[in-house]
A and B are shown apart, each in its own frame.
Chain A
Amino acid sequence: MSDVTLTIDGKTVTVPKGTKVVDAAKQVEVDIPVFCYHEKIGPLGCCRMCLVEVEKMPKLMTACTMDVAPDMVVKTVGDKVEKAQKGVLEFTLLNHPLDCPVCDKGGECPLQDNTFKYGPPDTRMEFHRANNVKAAPLSPVITIDRERCIACQRCTAYSERIEQDRGLVMLNRGFHNEVNTFNNEPYDNRFSGNVIDICPVGALTNTDFRFKARTWDLENHDTLCANCGCNCNITLGTRLNEFMRIEARPNDAVDDGWICDKGRWGHHFMESKNKITAARENSVGKTEPTSFPNFPINAPAEQAAEKVIEIFKNIAEEHGPESIGFLGSPYATNEEGYLYQKLFRLLGTNNIDHKSYQDTPGLPIRHFDVEEIENSNIVLLIACDPTEELPILDLRIKKAVSRCGTKLLSLNDQDTALDKYAELKVKYKVGSEASAVDALAEGLARELGESIDFSSDLGPTGISDEDMKSLVEAVRSSMKICVVYNPAALSGDTSLRVKRLLSVIARIPTIECGAIPAAPATNAVGAVDMGLLPDFYPGGVPVSDSEKVKELWGENAPTKPGLSASEMIAKAKSGDLKALWIHRSNPVVDFPGGEQVVEALKNLDLLVVHDMLETETTQLAKIVLPSNGPGFDEGTTTNIGGRVQARRKALEANSIDDWKLIQVMLKKLGDESSYSRVAKVLNEISQKVPGYQEINSRFVGKQGCNREQVAGEEVSPGNVESAASSNGKLQLRVATYLFAHDKILDASSKLAYHFKPSSAFLNESDAGKIGVSNGDRVSISGNGTEMEAEVTIDNRCMEGGVVVPRISDEQGVNGLGNPDGSPAWVDIKKA
């Protein structure tokens, strides 16, 4: 784009064509006051606060709506402008109450600031101000003070242009205008809280934070949201070591300035009653564990950990290192994951994992950062539902489609909220993703003239030849494509097939391509990068590459592939695995298998759970150790775009930091490294983890930085197994629901109003066969587990499948899944 040079208050500035004068002024540090203008929302021209004088123009102009022009001469000071600013402010303040002493916005209020800087000293208003409703709930989490609203329309424009659902509007425009929703319904969606941040006055306030603290008394900590893999940037405000509120902290490369409601109100787990605060021994499991000494009651966590790791060592010596295992966490920091894998590999085992699905490190094509979505002309979603899984990605995709000319393609087994933005939506039958992905890869390979045979078969997918052809064509003819796939929603080895598909795309000579592995867990990418895997060391180094492993990890580093999480669970059941250590994970509820997982864990000689909240799994543990978790911990996480960012400590905990605890154990095992600060762990990561060479705490800074591509060796998938005959059973798809009632959002959560009852989404024809109609209660059974749900018939998936959103821990839908991660069959009967 060509540049334009203009003068603002005598300062020359050159900016790209199309820039608004108000933004150009910022570049030369000229402050033009605004109310309605917001960089991310775009011009509105509604409040008139930004009036400036432009040479050769007869009237004052609004700087927020005016594009820069060559040789334009702008004046933001002088009698004319000042008079206008005073006038606008006097008018804006006509009916504005004198609330500052009791207003939550006080101290960070643009109306206060602008009035102080540009406003008239007093008012000529001689009448009573208009009275209006104070403090009405706009939703369970947002309170609106109608007297304070200055009708700038930022919030309604946000609803229209960013959320794009026009849920919040200006009613009764004119003297009686009011910001409201349809028919006084609550304003609730996934992104409602952002209007609090952008309201330039104290009209829209955070109900949870109201009257809790004055803003200038807050200690603000620049940190990251811990609730999904987007890792949005937030400011966490605390006072006297107590959590107060969360606000967005704009970072274009990550969140584009917004956070979702789960980010804003979903952090009360930090002060949950269920928080684990001390090490303890449960009287569970086998009464006489192998060589288990007396556990010191009330001992500090570090003493307990030292003891327990010694027992692990003894077990490993007695029964061989295959008899112990570690289940890490995709929610923990890179530092914690790194140190833990180091610890267990020091014990001689590769029985290390963090997930219940298959995934491998690295990508055969570029790992795109989230921002690349905007300049890709095609985004292909595979098995992704960003709205529920990675909310901020949903806003980014909507922005790309509506403002950047990006076309959205979707390959999924269920309908999602983003479908209405998609140019092409191809739906496959639940459980047939392997065939669907292969068919696309083979179609593209054929276009390339390659004679590749993936023996793909459209038959089981239910996709028509035509649809597949259009999809192949759309991908082939793209100029720049970004493939976003969710490995956690792909059954069996399909994520390997996606990688094979990506290598085919990479061979199309005419297109630029990249991918985003979009698993929902907060640090899913980091966990893979840090080698919390049975077959890879950190940075995608395969365990079989013994030369490289020995070079990086020493002579004794284990080079035999370990057990995956599901294999460990199976071995625990058979008695071959004696001891398991679990860090911040709740396999009993989150892994497929349900009761089988419980039985397996009960069968262990020793189960140690190091977690921040009590879970179904901690109940089964012999030893429970406290983990501080987000808010209290510090370190880095790697988001879905491969961006490494710093999660900072906001609150002081009583327990020892996780990384320090692991360090204590490493020492106990004779490891010599010592880390005085968590940044030292990061230093070691940069030395030991290929891809993280450039990462250090200074570089991570405030905005984070991309790690280099982690190497990935191509693992070829096996043949697609033909599905067992259905026998009237349906294939189960567990969908994600953002506001599930779990340990993070418990019953006391501010977001509890979003909790939903259990439901099953059926296709018309299946509903007919089973003989159920909308609203019927059904029992769903499979894999020895049974659960109840209410039927909705809406063709969300094709015939032969059922979609069940995971709405709570209690619901137990994962129990229906096969422990090995293959597509699960369920029986549905009227209850």
Chain B
Amino acid sequence: MQEYKFTEEQEKEISRILAKYPVKTSALLPLLTLVQRADRVVSPEAMVAISKKLDVSPAYVQSVMSFYTMYHTEKVGKYMILFCINISCQLNGCDKLLEHTARKLNIKVGETTSDEKFTLHREECLAACTEAPMMRVNDTYYGNLTEQRIDQILESLD
């Protein structure tokens, strides 16, 4: 296994994060997030690097990481689309819209486009039921979706 190297920037950020917590282990989620954002994946190498920073076993890092759906063991696209399929969105026709999105991107749900631009996943309620049907693209919520609006959104992302 190759050694994972944090950038200088990241090292500074890590020191800032660690300073916030009296118990080192508490910084696990922030560090996982840092890596996921930078690499779009959390590789085993990165888990080892994080485990060293926090003095825990790599297995523990993996156990925590594997509980959360927003950390990925396979690299995701530049834009991560989480499509809500829970009840409010369901009642408002998310199934069709999800199908439409998949067709538009020419991938199946759960896959990443070949140019690594988009990844499409189903997600449970994202707590925006008032705007159902909705999806989340990276950190932005898009509500009241229609096929047209989805096309527009996808085009606007580069």
Contacts and interface: CB of A to CB of B under 8 A. Distances in A.
Given A182-B44, A182-B47, A183-B44, A171 B63 contact: yes
B60 interface: yes
Interface stretch (A112-120, A161-169, A424-432): A161-169
A296 B65 CA distance: 71
Nearest to B68: A173
B interface, size bucket: 10 to 19
Contact of B59 (A168, A172, A174): A168
Contacts of A818: none
Nearest to A187: B59
Nearest to A173: B67
A609 to B, nearest CB: 46
Interface in A167-224: 167-174, 180-183
Contacts of B61: 182
Contacts, number: 37
Contact of A181 (B48, B59, B67): B59
A183 B47 CA distance: 10
A170 B57 contact: no
Contacts of B66: 171-173
Contacts of B47: 182-183
Given A182-B44, A182-B47, A183-B44, A167 B59 contact: yes
A165 B62 CA distance: 14
B56 to A, nearest CB: 7
A165 B51 CA distance: 12
Interface string A130-174: 000000000000000000000000000000000001111111111
A166 B57 contact: yes
Interface of A is mostly: loop
A647 to B, nearest CB: 37
On chain A, which size bracket covers the interface? Answer: 10 to 19
B62 to A, nearest CB: 5
A174 B67 contact: yes
B59 A169 contact: yes
B58 A183 contact: yes
A166 B64 CA distance: 12
A169 B56 contact: no
B57 A167 contact: yes
A530 to B, nearest CB: 44
B27 to A, nearest CB: 17
B74 to A, nearest CB: 14
Interface string A305-333: 00000000000000000000000000000
A158 to B, nearest CB: 13
B67 A182 contact: no
B40 to A, nearest CB: 19
Nearest to B65: A171
Nearest to A172: B66
Nearest to A165: B57
A174 B61 CA distance: 17
Nearest to A170: B63
B67 A169 contact: no
Contacts of B57: 165-167, 169, 182
A166 B67 contact: no
Contacts of B60: 166, 169
A142 to B, nearest CB: 15
Contacts of B44: 182-183
Interface string B51-86: 000001111111100110000000000000000000
A173 B63 contact: yes
A401 to B, nearest CB: 16
A623 to B, nearest CB: 53
Contacts of B62: 169, 171, 182-183
Contacts of A180: 59
A169 B56 CA distance: 12
Residue from B47, B57, B59, B62 with most neighbouring chain A CB atoms (10 Å): B59
A182 B61 CA distance: 8
A174 B67 CA distance: 8
A165 B58 CA distance: 10
Contacts of B59: 166-169, 180-182
Contacts of B48: 182
Contacts of A165: 57
Nearest to B45: A183
Contacts of A181: 59
A173 B47 CA distance: 17
B64 to A, nearest CB: 9
A169 B59 CA distance: 6
A733 to B, nearest CB: 28
Nearest to B48: A182
A182 B43 CA distance: 12
A191 to B, nearest CB: 15
Contacts of A166: 56-57, 59-60
Contacts of B56: 166
Contact of B67 (A167, A172, A183): A172
Contact of B58 (A168, A172, A182): A182
A713 B153 CA distance: 90
Contacts of A182: 44, 47-48, 57-59, 61-62
B92 to A, nearest CB: 27
Contacts of B63: 169-171, 173
Interface in B13-54: 44, 47-48
A737 B102 CA distance: 57
Contacts of A167: 57, 59
Contacts of A173: 63, 66-67
A508 to B, nearest CB: 36
Contacts of A169: 57, 59-60, 62-63
A236 B116 CA distance: 58
Nearest to B56: A166
A184 to B, nearest CB: 9
A7 to B, nearest CB: 40
Nearest to A181: B59
Given A182-B44, A182-B47, A182-B62, 6 more contacts: A166-B60, A167-B59, A171-B63, A180-B59, A182-B58, A183-B47
6 contacts: A170-B63, A172-B67, A181-B59, A182-B44, A182-B48, A183-B47
> Would you list the 5 A-B pairs with minimal beta carbon distance, nearest first?
A169-B63, A182-B59, A182-B58, A166-B57, A169-B59
